[in-house]
Structures are given as structure tokens and as C-alpha cells.
Amino acid sequence: MAVFSFLIIYLLCRLTHLRHDGRLPTLPLLLLSVLLCVTALVCSPSLAMLLGMLPLALLGLWGAERLLPERGLNEWRLLGLFVVLLPAIGLQSAAPTGPVLAWLLALTGLHPDTLYKLGWVLLGFLLVAHEANLPIRSLLRWSGLAPRHDDADPPGDTVIDQQEYNAGRMIGLMERWLMYAILVAAQNYNVIAFVLAAKGFARFRQMDQRAFAEYVLIGTLASTLLTVLISLLVLRMIALV
């Protein structure tokens, strides 16, 4: 539970990336690093945490922002996530619960299994928020479908329409949260049809533009696929508790 709690805090820190297409400034990076260090001590002041998860989390945080080339920033950030996620699975039982987590369990009266299930739900919620956005943006960049300015000079210029890009990011965030909440709570897949229909209605006039229609279609399908996969993973892990 200690490593699991630390992982959730790490993902909360990574939400800072949501509004930054470029590298994070130094001050937020330093503040997030301090927060991770404090969290590691609070969750479980053990060697498994301090020598295992904490260095990996700091490496994943600083690697993409400072140590690696800025080109492919989304891919580096995604790699940083896996650098932390994969070892966390092996360290789950190696880090004992710290006194603060033990006090929280005693205060709330929650059974550890219940808290573990709630943790998985929150973990999935964070994964569909920012982390799912990283591969979607990479896919749009690789395929050349990121929205461009209509009045680009010269024609065919590669200047990305940041206003449309940011609007698509926030719309995708809200649609993934809606789908995830209903899929996990009710396992009702009809919500997918509702979201697709609502999005198609809102963008109806712009669908006459082939490039924009492809951008919306690819982004929506990728967003839906990732949300369904994360929801299935969370439901599977909850069922195993």
C-alpha cells in the first residue's frame, strides 16, 4: 500500500504537465521533487522506498524535462511513467506501511482492501487524465494530423493551431473522465456511443474539412480505446482484491 500511495502522488505531480507542451520550468520541478521526497518518507521510510521508488520517480520526472532532448518530449514523459510503474509492481510487498498511512487507516476505519480498491479507482482516474493524453499526442504528431492554421503562410506550413490543439486536449480529458467513471461504476458501454454522438454533433460543421475530420476521428478513437483498456485493467485489479 505504501508504494501504491507513492505512485498516486507521483501521477498527481505529473498532472502539472497537462498545460505544458514544452519543458516544465525549474521551480515547479524542484517543488515537485521536494513533494516526492516528503511523500516517500511519509508513506514508508524504508530502504525499498527511499532507494527504489524515489530515485526512479525523480529520474522519470527530471529525465524528460532536463536530461533528454526536447524533441519527442511526450515520448520521453511516457517512458518516464513506465520507469516508475513497472518497478512499483515488484516493490509492492517490499515497502511496509508507514505510520502516517497506518494512522489514516485507523482514523477512517477503512479496511486495507477497501482503501486498496479506492486507490486503484483513483489511479485509473489519473491515468486517463494526463497519461492517456501522451500517446494520443504522439500519434497525432507521427501521423501529421495535428490541427494546422488554415491561413498558414506559406500554404502547407507546419504551424500547429494551438488554440484548437488545447481545446481538443480539454475535450478529450472530459470525455475520458466521463467514460471511465461510467465504465467503472456501472460497466455500461453505451456511454461510448453517447460520447461519440455528442462529439460528432458539436463538431458537425467542421467535419466538412477532411484534415480536421481525420484529426477528430483518430484522436477520439485513440482516446476511447485507452479509456476502455484502463477501465478493464482497474476492474480486473479490483476483482482480484
Indicate whether 123 belongs to any domain.
no
Burial of residue 200 (number of CB atoms within 10 Å: 0-12, 13-18, 19+):
middle
Greatest distance between any 2 Cα atoms in the chain: 65
Instruction: Please tell me the distance from the alpha carbon of residue 93 to that of residue 171, in angstroms, as a whole number.
Output: 38
| Amino acid, res. 128 | V
Q: Which pLDDT does position 156 carry in this prediction?
A: 46
Question: Among all chains, which residue has been given the C-alpha cell 482484491?
Answer: 241
**C-alpha cell read off for 68:** 533528454
* pLDDT at residue 152 in the model: 46
Angle between helices 162-186 and 112-126 (to 10 degrees): 150
> Between the CA atoms of 100, 3, 82 and 124, what dihedral angle is there, to the nearest 10 degrees?
-70
Question: What pLDDT is recorded for position 129?
Answer: 86
Distance CA 69, CA 22 (A): 11
The answer to the question of residue 53 being in a domain is yes
The amino acid at residue 72 is G
DSSP state of 41: H
The C-alpha atoms of residue 191 and residue 86 are separated, in whole angstroms, by: 31
pTM of the entire structure?
A: 0.80
Residues 74 and 155 placed together within one structural domain of the fold: no
Asked whether the beta carbons of 14 and 131 are under 8 A apart, the reply is yes
Mark whether 58 and 102 lie in a shared domain: yes
Residue 88 pLDDT: 72
Total domain count for the chain? Answer: 2
Structural domain contains residue 127? no
Range of the domain at 62: 2-108
H/E element, 78: helix 73-91
C-alpha cell at 95: 515497502
pLDDT at 74: 83
Contact present, 46 and 164 (Cβ < 8 Å): no
Within a domain: residue 181?
Answer: yes
Q: How far apart are CA 181 and CA 179, in angstroms?
A: 6
> Are 76 and 139 contained in the same domain?
no
Query: In 3D, which of 48, 38, 56 has the Cα closest to residue 92?
Result: 48
Q: Please name the residues in contact with 50: beta carbons below 8 A apart, sequence gap of 6 or more.
A: 40, 41
Residues 165 and 81 in one domain: no
Q: Are residues 33 and 98 in the same domain?
A: yes
Per-residue pLDDT of the chain (241 residues; tens, 9 = 90+): 667 777 888 888 888 777 777 788 888 889 888 888 887 777 666 666 666 778 888 888 888 888 888 788 888 888 888 888 777 766 655 455 556 666 666 777 767 677 778 888 998 999 998 888 888 888 887 877 666 555 444 444 455 556 666 777 788 888 899 999 999 988 888 888 887 787 766 665 666 667 777 777 888 889 899 999 999 999 998 887 6
**Within a domain: 128:** no
